[in-house]
């Protein structure tokens, strides 16, 4: 502990010589005042758990309707964020409404099972699941509950105490107000905390966040609207800015400290305790079902976002690498167990984040990420951006010198063929859900894969899919879904007829 402080002091001393900020007050003095203003270090340390409820917004969910277009903002309501500092647990529970589109009630919790950190989650209308922590996917104020645990005002205020004794506070404008900027250590990360010069309260902090999709981004957390909660003062407004753009914001109506009822969300539901056993035993695991569709085609069904696996004589191609790292790493093992051939390609149907969250892990497994030219900007950024804090499986395998998959492009149409067997990929520009959109067709079996367009009933995307298949003159017999199950082509005919007759 002492050695670490001395090293940090030396590092800061070096920084000071090249910095003009040595006119500011001693950082330690500013921090001590801030801690007193927030109720004192002892009171902050007495916070074992916190529950924050309110409403807010979330941006950058990766649901663009056209590539290069604007990502619709989402409204978050009925938000409950729970952090248990003692156990290292955190959870989101909220409704999310994306633009004018769909709404979902979602819960995701980072908890402990059999002595191991695992996750459990659910979305209204879908089953509960248990997964390893890298299988959690949130549409809340952050992408995972882990980020909520790492990025909150209580942890940051306490971390301020670790400031090196020799450091001088730097004056700068933060959130449009004069602040003292002070570097400190948050566990093993360096963060810069901002202390409001007028109020003497924690105004926020800056850190490096690794986002699943955006990669490494400069992140800014702004805290305001301080109110007393028990013995401490806490901010009731939080704003998160990543990469210079709004990411999420919350107005809390209530914050509770050390409420035992808050622990309920961390209880793994009874119906997924067998999954929890498996998650606790593995490094990366999410529940997946391996379903045969034809001699060479398999539908791999997950919690909510599915893939299609096509076996060729010499390799395997996957359509869709959705959702999470844990899902893709589980899929990699299933392919090894059931087929035992290398994964040559993964083909995403569109760049929405829920359908691309597992692409990096499949690239880490050696798959080329074969994308439509119209998706290049969005998907290249996902695959090629650095992910360092912490590194994901792709970043780790690259660092270890493992040969990983690269981005490959096709435009309009392409054919994957091997040993007389073929699959066709089409970049379709007439689909409302997103433009362009990729459809995959295994001609020999009449199997089409589509995501987000057809769920069995009529609708604008179903009509657009029907028209696209007519235009392409594909003889489809079965439709395999990125959501739901396998539908006969006749059901699309019926849906289209229902639309036409209206
Ligand atoms: Zn989509």
> In angstroms, what is the span from residue 7 Cα to ligand 1's centroid?
49
Distance 270 CA to ligand 1 centre (A): 31
Distance 352 CA to ligand 1 centre (A): 5
The two most distant CA atoms of the chain are separated, in Å, by 78
- Is the pLDDT at 101 greater than 90? The verdict is no
Closest residue by Cα to residue 50 from 83, 79, 80, 78? 83
Gap between the Cα atoms of 452 and 454, Å rounded: 6
Q: How far is the CA of 483 from the centre of ligand 1 (A)?
A: 10
Which structural domains are found in the chain, ordered by start? Answer: 8-266 (2.50.20.10), 288-501 (3.60.15.10)
Using the mean position of ligand 1's atoms as its centre, give its distance from the Cα of residue 328 in Å.
Answer: 18
Residue 387 pLDDT exceeds 50: yes
Pair type for strands 245-257 and 289-292: unpaired
Distance 431 CA to ligand 1 centre (A): 11
Residue 356 Cα to ligand 1 midpoint, Å, equals: 10
Å from CA of 92 to ligand 1 middle: 22
Q: What pLDDT is attached to residue 502?
A: 59
User: What's the 452 CA to ligand 1 centre distance in angstroms?
Assistant: 5
Where does residue 412 fall: left (phi above 0), alpha (psi -120 to 50 degrees), or beta otherwise?
left
What is the rounded average pLDDT of the residues 69-96? 96
State the distance from the centre of ligand 1 to the C-alpha of 473, rounded, in angstroms: 24
Q: What is the pLDDT of residues 435-468, one digit of tens each?
A: 999 999 999 999 999 999 999 999 999 999 999 9
CA 434 – ligand 1 centroid, Å: 7
How far does the centroid of ligand 1 lie from the alpha carbon of residue 403, in Å? 30
Mean pLDDT of 126-131: 95
Asked if 354 and 137 touch (Cβ cutoff 8 Å), the reply is yes
- Taking the centre of ligand 1 as the mean of its atom positions, its distance from the CA of residue 170, in whole angstroms, is 45
Cα of 62 vs centre of ligand 1, distance in Å, is 9
pLDDT attached to residue 368: 98
Contacts of 40 (CB under 8 A, 6+ apart): 231, 232
pLDDT higher than 60, residue 356:
yes
> Which of 420, 499, 422 lies closest to 461 in space, CA to CA?
499
- Residue 195 Cα to ligand 1 middle (Å): 41
Cα 314 to ligand 1 centroid, rounded to whole Å: 31
H-type helices in 282-348, by residue range? 325-338
Query: How many Å lie between the centroid of ligand 1 and the Cα of residue 385?
Result: 22
Q: For residues 142 and 92, what is the distance between their CA atoms, to the nearest angstrom? A: 9
Distance (Å) from CA 482 to ligand 1 centroid: 10
Distance 135 CA to ligand 1 centre (A): 19
Give ∠ CA 413-371-402 in degrees, rounded to 5.
135
CA of 354 to the centre of ligand 1 (A): 7
Determine the distance separating the centroid of ligand 1 and the alpha carbon of 3, expressed in angstroms: 51
Q: Report the pLDDT value the prediction gives residue 125, as an integer from 0 to 100.
A: 87
CA 4 to centroid of ligand 1, rounded, Å: 47
Tens digits of residue pLDDT in 394-451: 999 999 999 999 999 999 999 999 999 999 999 999 999 999 999 999 999 999 999 9
Helix (H) / strand (E) containing 130:
strand 129-131
Taking the centre of ligand 1 as the mean of its atom positions, its distance from the CA of residue 353, in whole angstroms, is 8
Q: Which residues contact 16 (CB under 8 A, 6 or more apart)?
A: 22, 166, 167, 168
Give the residue from 379, 374, 349, 372 showing the smallest Cα distance to 461: 349
pLDDT exceeds 60 at position 13: no
Ligand 1 midpoint to CA 184 (Å): 40
CA of 71 relative to ligand 1 center, distance in Å: 12
Alpha carbons 183 and 310: distance in angstroms, whole number: 51
CA of 465 to the centre of ligand 1 (A): 14
- Could you tell me the distance, in angstroms and rounded to a whole number, from the CA of residue 10 to the centre of ligand 1? 50
Q: 68 falls in which pLDDT band (50, 70, 90)? A: confident
- Cα separations in angstroms, 106 against 25, 91, 202, 284, 433: 46, 11, 30, 22, 22
The mean predicted confidence, pLDDT, of the chain is: 94
Over residues 23-39, mean pLDDT:
95
Find the 227 Cα to ligand 1 centroid distance in Å. Answer: 40
Distance CA 63, CA 69 (A): 10
Instruction: Report H helices in 94-212.
Output: 145-150, 153-159
**Distance in Å, CA 355 to ligand 1 centroid:** 7
Q: What is the mean pLDDT of residues 77-90?
A: 98
Distance 215 CA to ligand 1 centre (A): 20
Q: Give residue 500 CA to ligand 1 midpoint distance, Å.
A: 24
φ, ψ of residue 238 in degrees (nearest 5): -125, 135
Contact 111, 88 (CB under 8 A): no
* Distance separating alpha carbons of residues 134 and 118, to the nearest angstrom: 9
Strand partners, 257: 50
**98 in Cβ contact with 433 (< 8 Å):** no
- Reported as a pLDDT band with limits 50, 70 and 90, residue 110 is very high
């Amino acid at each position: 502990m002492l050695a670490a402080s001395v090293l940090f002091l030396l590092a800061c001393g070096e920084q000071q010589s090249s910095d003009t900020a040595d006119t500011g007050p001693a950082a330690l003095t500013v921090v001590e005042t801030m801690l007193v203003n927030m109720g004192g270090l002892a009171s902050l340390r007495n916070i074992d758990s916190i529950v924050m409820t309110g409403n807010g917004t979330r941006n950058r969910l990766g649901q663009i309707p056209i590539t290069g277009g604007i990502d619709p903002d989402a409204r978050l309501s009925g938000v409950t964020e729970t952090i248990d500092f003692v156990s290292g647990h955190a959870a989101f529970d909220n409704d999310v409404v994306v633009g004018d589109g769909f709404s979902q009630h979602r819960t995701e919790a980072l908890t402990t099972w059999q002595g191991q950190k695992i996750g459990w989650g659910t979305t209204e209308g879908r089953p509960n699941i248990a997964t390893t922590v890298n299988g959690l996917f949130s549409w809340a104020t952050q992408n995972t509950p882990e980020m909520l645990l790492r990025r909150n005002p209580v942890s940051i205020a306490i971390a301020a105490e670790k400031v090196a004794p020799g450091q001088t506070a730097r004056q700068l404008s933060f959130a449009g107000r004069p602040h003292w900027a002070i570097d400190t250590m948050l566990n093993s990360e360096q963060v810069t905390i901002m202390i409001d010069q007028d109020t003497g309260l924690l105004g926020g902090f800056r850190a490096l966040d690794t986002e699943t999709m955006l990669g490494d981004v400069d992140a800014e957390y702004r805290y305001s609207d301080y109110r007393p909660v028990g013995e401490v003062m806490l901010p009731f407004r939080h704003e998160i800015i990543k990469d210079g753009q709004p990411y999420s914001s919350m107005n809390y109506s209530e914050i509770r400290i050390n409420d035992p009822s808050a622990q309920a969300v961390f209880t793994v539901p009874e119906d997924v305790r067998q999954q929890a056993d498996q998650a606790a035993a593995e490094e990366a695991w999410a529940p997946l079902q391996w379903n045969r569709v034809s001699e060479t085609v398999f539908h791999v069904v997950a919690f909510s976002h599915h893939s299609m696996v096509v076996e060729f004589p010499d390799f395997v191609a996957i359509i869709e690498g959705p959702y999470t790292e844990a899902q893709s790493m589980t899929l990699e093992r299933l392919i090894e167990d059931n087929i035992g051939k290398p994964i040559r390609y993964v083909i995403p149907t569109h760049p929405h984040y829920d359908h691309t969250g597992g692409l990096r892990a499949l690239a880490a497994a050696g798959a080329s990420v074969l994308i439509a030219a119209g998706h290049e900007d969005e998907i290249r950024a996902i695959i090629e951006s650095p992910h360092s804090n912490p590194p994901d499986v792709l970043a780790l395998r690259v660092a270890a010198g493992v040969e990983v998959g690269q981005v490959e492009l096709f435009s309009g149409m392409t054919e994957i063929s091997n040993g007389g067997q073929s699959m066709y990929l089409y970049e379709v520009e007439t689909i409302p859900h997103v433009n362009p959109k990729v459809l995959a067709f295994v001609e020999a079996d009449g199997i089409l894969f589509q995501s987000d367009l057809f769920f069995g009933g009529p609708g604008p995307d179903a009509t657009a899919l029907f028209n696209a298949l007519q235009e392409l003159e594909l003889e489809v017999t079965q439709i395999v879904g990125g959501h739901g199950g396998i539908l006969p082509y006749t059901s699309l005919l019926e849906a289209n007829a229902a639309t036409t007759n209206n």
